[in-house]
Amino acid sequence: MTGIKATGEKKLMLFSGRGYPELADEVAECLGIEPTPSKLHDFANGEIFVRYLESVRGCDAFVLQSHTAPINQWIMEQLIMVDALKRASAKRITVVAPVFGYARQDKKSRGREPISARLMADLFRTAGADRLMVVDLHTSQIQGFFDGPVDHLFALPILADYVQSKLDTSQVTVVAPDAGRVRVAERWTDRLGSPLAIIHKRRDPDVANQVKVFEVVGEVEGRTCVIVDDMIDTGGTIVKAADALFEQGAAKVVATATHGLLSGPAVDRLKNSRISEVVITNTLPVREDHRFDKLTVLSIAPLLARAINEVFSDGSVTSLFDGDA
């Protein structure tokens, strides 16, 4: 049967939403299976219908959906997919969300604001999810929002191995674009054996996606600076960070990020910047009109497939990153 990998009495079934089926196909190929046939469509008023075309009773279900634009539609579709599996007696349901929607709303910065990341976790739990699998959360504390196991995967080995293959690491300085990325940047320095620099930035509280001041702390003069971030959204922050590094004498700047949202003016900003290369993974689809010469997209599918296989076989997801932390 398609979409099934069996081990003894257990069977693994992979389910794909419509947000990014190409990634699900790639993960399925790595696992040696096919996504389970499903019927998904929208009613005339925009409501979503889901029905699985094979029995899912007793299966170990993995529901893969990228929270890409239109993000609310694909989140809702994944919730409905989980509900359908629960009502069809799936034994265990793992939500695979390479990009966890609303992750940047993980705390109240000011009064009368929501904590939307917590709401997301509650919605998936209520829908019937037993487990979450995510890649490079905006903040690690979000793992505590979900009442169940959370497999927090890291794209660092994929990105760092690529950088290591392309650059002379003795000339590299790893750059954290803000204080929140310092711990991740330290893992990069451990892996590459490179020094660390930090960019201190102050945001304008009244303007979304707007940074006012950048200050570079660390030795960057004459060096190749590798900026490491979790996502590139509009590209404004990373381009300004690169400009600040060049002002301090950096010889070259490479930008890396797990998630390439590439919203609004991002492509034009990155294309016209002094950044030599932008390296991201395919946790989100990259439209053809968003691709440009400086952009390199690495596949996250093998990592997702390995993690899914570890969960299915009751192995250790942590073992995938032993020596990388």
Give the residue numbers marked as catalytic.
201
DSSP 36: P
Q: Report the distance separating Cα 190 and Cα 195, nearest Å.
A: 9
Residue 323's identity, in one-letter code, is: G
The dihedral through the CA atoms of 310, 17, 284, 229 has a sign that is negative
| 95 burial level (CB within 10 Å; 0-12, 13-18, 19+) | buried
CA nearest neighbour of 97 among 148, 151, 22 = 151
Residues 303/286, Cβ–Cβ less than 8 Å: no
Backbone angles phi, psi at 140, to 5 degrees: -65, -25
Under DSSP, is residue 82 helix (H, G, I), strand (E, B) or coil?
Answer: helix
How many helices, marked H, and strands, marked E, lie in the chain?
8, 15
CA nearest neighbour of 103 among 188, 17, 18, 180 = 180
DSSP H/E element including 280? strand 277-281
Residue 33's identity, in one-letter code, is: I
